[in-house]
Chains A and B, each alone.
Chain A
Amino acid sequence: DADVTQTPRNRITKTGKRIMLECSQTKGHDRMYWYRQDPGLGLQLIYYSFDVKDINKGEISDGYSVSRQAQAKFSLSLESAIPNQTALYFCATSDRSRTDTQYFGPGTRLTVL
C-alpha cells in the first residue's frame, strides 16, 4: 500500500463550488504539505503543517484553507473554486528528524469549469 494517499485522484467541479482534497499518510511523519503544480511553473507551496496545532501559509495560500485532523490526515479546501485553480495538487510529508526529504502522494487532478 502507498505511504501517502490522496483522494480523489481526479475531480471536475464548477466555479463557486466548495471542494475538499484529502491526504493520508502511514509513514508516521509529523510534517505535511500541500503543493500545486502548473505546467511551466513547477510546484508551489500552498500550506504546511508541523503538527496538528501548527499550520502555516505557503507562497500561494489565497483562496485555500487546510485542516489537520490528525497527525496522519491533512485536508485542503477550496472554499469557492475558480477556474485558475485548475491544477495538479500534491500532498507531501517529512519527518522532523530528517527534514531534508519530502515524500509525495500521487496527486489529485482538479479541473474547475
Chain B
Amino acid sequence: GNSVTQMEGPVTLSEEAFLTINCTYTATGYPSLFWYVQYPGEGLQLLLKATKADDKGSNKGFEATYRKETTSFHLEKGSVQVSDSAVYFCALSGFSGNQFYFGTGTSLTVIP
C-alpha cells in the first residue's frame, strides 16, 4: 500500500543550526511528494513539493529532493530561525481521488 514514514520528534535546535527531517515513502506508481507545515493553532500549509524523480522542491530556505532510488524526500534547511518552529508533515499523492497519505508529523522547536 501507500505510506509515509518520517522521523520522529520532537526536534529541538538552536537558531542558525542545520535541519534535516527524514522522510521515506512506499507507493505504487509515481507519486507526487510534499512537505506541509503546521504552525501552532493553524491548519496545514504547503511548504514545497516535487512531482517527479530528481526534482527539488524549495521554499523559504527549505529544500527537499525526490529520490526514487532511495524512496526518500528529506527536508533540509541550512540555518533555522525561531519562526520555523512548527510541525512538519511529509505526504504523497497522485492516486485515485487525489488521496493524500501523510506522515505522523515532526515537531520542531528552534530556540534563540
Q: What residues make up the interface of A, taking CB atoms closer than 8 Å to B?
A: 4, 31, 33, 40-45, 48, 50, 56, 58, 90, 92, 94, 99-107
Contacts and interface: CB of A to CB of B under 8 A. Distances in A.
B44 A56 contact: no
B43 A101 contact: no
Contact of B98 (A31, A104, A105): A31
B17 interface: no
A42 B89 contact: yes
Contacts, number: 56
Interface of B: 4, 32, 34, 36, 41-46, 49, 51, 89, 93-94, 97-100, 102-105
B8 to A, nearest CB: 9
Given A41-B104, A42-B102, A104 B97 contact: no
A2 to B, nearest CB: 9
29 contacts: A4-B43, A33-B100, A41-B104, A42-B89, A42-B104, A42-B105, A43-B89, A43-B102, A44-B102, A45-B99, A50-B97, A56-B97, A58-B99, A90-B43, A92-B43, A100-B32, A100-B51, A100-B93, A101-B49, A102-B46, A102-B93, A102-B98, A104-B36, A104-B43, A104-B44, A104-B45, A106-B43, A107-B42, A107-B43
Question: 6 closest Cβ contacts across the A-B interface?
Answer: A104-B43, A42-B102, A99-B98, A42-B104, A43-B102, A104-B44
A78 B51 CA distance: 36
Contacts of B94: 100
A99 B51 CA distance: 12
A48 B45 contact: no
Contact of B43 (A42, A58, A105): A105
Nearest to B105: A42
- Which among B4, B93, B97 has the greatest number of chain A C-beta atoms within 10 A? B97
A100 B43 CA distance: 17
A90 B44 CA distance: 9
Contact of A42 (B45, B97, B103): B103
A79 B43 CA distance: 25
B29 to A, nearest CB: 14
